[in-house]
C-alpha cells in the first residue's frame, strides 16, 4: 500500500520494474543490514477515483514476495466503520525516512523515524483544507497538532503508514498523503483514509490481508510490547 502521488508518471517516470521495495530495513542507507530485503515491482494499481489531491491510494504488485518476519510484518486493514471510532483522544504513529524539517532539500533520514500524532476532527481538518483539496474530501483526514505544530510527517514520508492500535490489533488507519509546511501550526498533516478504501484493496488483492492476519502474521499489541505506550490517548 502506498500513496498514488508516489507512483505518478510525472514524479517517477519509467516502468515499475525500475523501482524497488525495501523491506525489513532500519538504516535505509546501510546495504549490509541482515534484515534488509529488496523486491521488484510488477505493477502500480492506482485507485480509480484518483484526483489531484484526494483518493490518494495505490497498490504495488510485487514480483518477489516479502517473507513475513519480525522486521517486516503487515498491519491489519481497518473496518469501513473504523473512522467513526476516532476522536482527538486517539494518538497514531506515523513513520518513515523523510525529511526531519521542512525545506530540507529532500535529504531524508538514514534511520527509520516515527512520530506520535493525534486525530484532528474532520470538521477542523476540512475547515483548513477543503478548498485546497477540492473534490473527494471524504477520502482524506488530518492528524497532528493544529495549534502548536512542531510534530508531523514531511517530504519523503509520503505513502508511509499511519498506525492505530485498536484493541489488540495494529491497523493501517491512514497513508501519508499531503499537507502544507511540515510541522507548521495551523496546518496538520493530511492522510488518505484507509477505512474508505478497504473494500477496493480487498477486491484488488483478493482479501490477502485477511488471510495473512487470520494466520497470526499481522502486528498485534503483544508484538509491540512496551511500544504500546506510543498509542495511548493524547493529553494536552
Q: What CATH number does residue 133 fall under?
A: 2.40.10.10
Query: Domain for residue 17, yes or no?
Result: no
Q: What is the pLDDT along the chain (236 residues), one digit of tens a residue?
A: 999 999 987 666 678 888 899 999 999 999 999 999 999 999 999 999 999 999 999 999 999 999 999 999 999 999 999 999 999 999 999 999 999 887 666 678 999 999 999 999 999 999 999 999 999 999 999 999 988 888 999 999 999 999 999 999 999 999 999 988 899 999 999 999 999 999 999 999 999 999 999 999 999 999 999 999 999 764 44
Tell whether 64 is covered by a domain: no
Judge whether 191 lies within some domain. yes
Read off the pLDDT of residues 88-99 as tens digits, 9 standing for 90 and up: 999 999 999 999
- The verdict on whether 5 is a catalytic residue reads yes
Active site residue 122: no
Q: CA-to-CA distance for 170 and 227, rounded, in angstroms?
A: 11
> Has residue 44 been placed in a domain?
no
Residue from 5, 82, 83, 177 carrying the catalytic annotation: 5
Q: Is residue 157 part of a domain?
A: yes
Q: E strands of the chain, at which residues?
A: 20-23, 37-46, 58-62, 91-96, 113-120, 140-143, 161-166, 169-178, 189-193
Domain range for 112 = 82-197+222-231
- For the stretch 176-211, pLDDT in tens is 999 888 999 999 999 999 999 999 999 999 999 999
- Whether residue 127 is contained in a domain is answered as yes
Q: What is the structure's pLDDT at 179?
A: 84
Of the listed 109, 139, 158, 177, which one is catalytic?
158
Q: What is the pTM of this model?
A: 0.94
Q: Please, are residues 61 and 77 in contact by the beta-carbon 8 Å criterion?
A: no
pLDDT score at 236: 44
The contacts of residue 208 (CB under 8 Å, 6+ apart) are none
User: Residues 78, 198: contact at Cβ < 8 Å?
Assistant: yes
Domain membership flag for residue 47: no
Q: How many domains does the chain have?
A: 1
Cell of 132: 485546497
Domain membership flag for residue 43: no
Q: Is 158 a catalytic residue?
A: yes
Output the CA–CA distances (angstroms, integers) from residue 203 to 45, 68, 82, 94, 141, in the order listed.
12, 22, 19, 26, 23
User: Which member of 47, 56, 139, 195 is catalytic?
Assistant: 56
pLDDT at 87: 93
Amino acid at each position: 500500500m502506498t500513496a498514488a502521488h508516489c507512483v505518478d508518471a510525472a514524479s517517477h517516470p519509467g516502468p515499475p520494474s525500475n523501482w524497488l521495495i525495501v523491506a525489513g530495513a532500519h538504516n535505509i542507507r546501510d546495504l549490509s543490514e541482515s534484515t534488509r530485503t529488496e523486491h521488484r515491482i510488477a505493477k502500480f494499481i492506482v485507485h480509480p477515483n484518483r484526483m489531484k489531491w484526494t483518493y490518494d491510494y495505490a497498490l504495488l504488485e510485487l514480483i518477489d514476495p516479502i517473507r513475513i518476519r519480525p522486521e517486516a510484518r503487515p498491519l491489519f486493514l481497518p473496518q469501513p466503520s473504523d473512522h467513526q471510532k476516532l476522536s482527538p483522544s486517539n494518538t497514531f504513529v506515523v513513520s518513515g525516512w523523510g525529511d526531519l524539517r521542512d525545506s530540507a532539500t529532500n535529504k531524508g533520514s538514514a534511520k527509520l523515524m516515527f512520530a506520535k500524532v493525534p486525530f484532528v476532527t474532520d470538521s477542523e481538518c476540512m475547515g483548513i483544507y477543503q478548498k485546497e483539496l477540492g473534490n473527494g474530501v471524504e477520502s482524506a483526514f488530518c492528524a497532528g497538532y493544529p495549534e502548536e505544530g512542531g510534530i508531523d510527517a514531511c517530504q519523503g514520508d509520503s505513502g508511509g503508514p499511519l498506525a492505530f492500535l485498536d484493541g489488540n490489533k495494529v491497523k493501517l488507519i491512514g497513508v501519508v498523503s499531503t499537507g502544507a509546511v511540515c510541522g507548521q501550526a495551523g496546518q496538520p498533516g493530511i492522510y488518505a483514509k484507509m477505512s474508505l478504501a478497504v473494500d477496493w484493496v480487498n477486491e484488488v488483492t483478493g482479501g490477502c490481508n485477511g488471510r495473512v492476519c487470520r494466520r497470526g502474521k499481522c502486528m498485534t499489541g503483544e508484538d509491540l510490547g512496551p511500544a504500546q505506550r506510543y498509542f495511548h490517548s493524547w493529553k494536552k
